[in-house]
Amino acid sequence: MSVSQIFVAIDGPAGSGKSSISKAAAERLGYNYLDTGAAYRALAWWVLERGMPTADSDTIVDALPDWDYNIGVDPDNYYVAVGETDVTNAIREPRVTSVVSSVARVPKIREHVNALFRDIMRSAPQHGIIVEGRDITTVVAPDAPVRILLTASEEVRMARRSAELANEKATEVADQLRKRDAADSRVVDFMTAADGVVTVDSTTLTFDQTVDAVLDVIEQQTSRTAHG
Ligand SMILES: Nc1ncnc2c1ncn2[C@@H]1O[C@H](COP(=O)(O)OP(=O)(O)OP(=O)(O)O)[C@@H](O)[C@H]1O
Ligand SMILES: Nc1ccn([C@@H]2O[C@H](COP(=O)(O)O)[C@@H](O)[C@H]2O)c(=O)n1
């Protein structure tokens, strides 16, 4: 990342709109966009493909040097690949979602992917990048000039996710989302804003209003930084 590059960190719980809102905001600003959850999902997908037990953290950590991960940071050309395989859609399958938290809880795995994220951020071609996940505001980029906690009530997040997954039972979708947040919360805190992190609560906002709210925070925080 060059010195003049603008760096925006966004965290939040499952279904809060981190990916879709960050991508839309990046498109509006001409920024790059980095989805960090995709790395944990792609690793979980690879572990399943190789038939490794997802709970065997030592074996997964030992195999990390062979995991060839690639992600597109252009918001108009988003893709996720492992080696030659495009896994953009496969990593969203329920079989991956149901095991991703157990892979993401391992500290050595988190260190490995955090180093990857920082490399990707440093080499991003645009003058700004929005990075979203669970620990971006606190661990990956605690010094980012713009840090946002994007949230919405659990009820609204579940309703939005159920609308997306029309073929799945609403109660099961809600149950999975709640369980994943509970498991992930044991590893990093993305339910409360750390010092200096601005909360955007989209519970009563439309999609476009939420993008505007995020863009407002970016504008305010970057002009504050620019004016000392
Ligand atoms: N303010 C909003 N109003 C209406 N729908 C929204 C709003 N924000 C997000 N959505 C919708 O909610 C759904 C979940 O959003 P998204 O997938 O971006 O969440 P996420 O935080 O990235 O979730 P996960 O962590 O599970 O990947 C999407 O269908 C998105 O279009
Ligand atoms: N910074 C992050 C980002 C994600 N995770 C883990 O990955 C899972 C999938 O993330 P999505 O954003 O795609 O839903 C998530 O449930 C976490 O287990 C993480 O630990 N840290």
For residue 187, which atom of ligand 2 is closest to its CA? 20
What is the interface pTM, i.e. ipTM, of the complex? Answer: 0.98
Are 135 and 12 a contacting pair, CB within 8 Å?
A: no
Alpha-carbon Rg for the chain, nearest whole angstrom, is 17
Reported as a pLDDT band with limits 50, 70 and 90, residue 167 is confident
- pLDDT score, position 96: 97
Are 120 and 5 a contacting pair, CB within 8 Å?
A: no
Sheet arrangement for strand 6-11: 32-35, 128-133, 6-11, 146-151, 198-201
- What's the rounded mean pLDDT across residues 202-219? 98
For ligand 2, the distance from its centroid to the CA atom of residue 224, given in whole angstroms, is 30
- pLDDT score, position 228: 63
> Which parts are annotated binding residues for ATP?
12-20
- pLDDT score, position 1: 44
The burial class, CB within 10 Å (0-12 / 13-18 / 19+), for 14 is buried
pTM of this structure = 0.96
- pLDDT score, position 168: 76
Whose CA is closest to atom 31 on ligand 1? 20
Cβ(213) – ligand 1 distance below 6 Å: no
For residue 19, which atom of ligand 2 is closest to its CA? 12
- pLDDT score, position 164: 85
Q: pLDDT (tens digit, 9 = 90+) per residue, 143-164?
A: 999 999 999 999 999 999 988 8
For ligand 2, the distance from its centroid to the CA atom of residue 58, given in whole angstroms, is 20
Q: pLDDT (tens digit, 9 = 90+) per residue, 31-53?
A: 999 999 999 999 999 999 999 99
Cβ(210) – ligand 1 distance below 6 Å: yes
Dist CA 40 CA 45 (whole Å): 9
- pLDDT score, position 3: 55
The position carrying tokens 């490995």 is: 112
What whole-number percentage of the chain has pLDDT above 70? 98
| Ligand having the closest approach to the CA of 139 | 2
Whose CA is closest to atom 17 on ligand 2? 101
Q: How far apart are the first and last CA of the chain?
A: 21
The answer for residues whose C-beta is within 8 angstroms of residue 160's C-beta and 6 or more apart is 15, 17, 152
Q: Which of 3-7, 21-25, 32-36, 122-126 has the lowest mean pLDDT?
A: 3-7
For ligand 1, the distance from its centroid to the CA atom of residue 167, given in whole angstroms, is 17
Amino acid identity of 153? Answer: S
Phi, psi of 155 (to 5 degrees): -60, -45
For residue 21, which atom of ligand 1 is closest to its CA? 18
For residue 36, which atom of ligand 2 is closest to its CA? 3
- pLDDT score, position 226: 72
Greatest pairwise CA separation for the chain in angstroms:
54
Structural domains in the chain? Answer: 6-226 (3.40.50.300)
Among the residues of 36-106, which ranges form H helices?
37-49, 57-63, 94-104
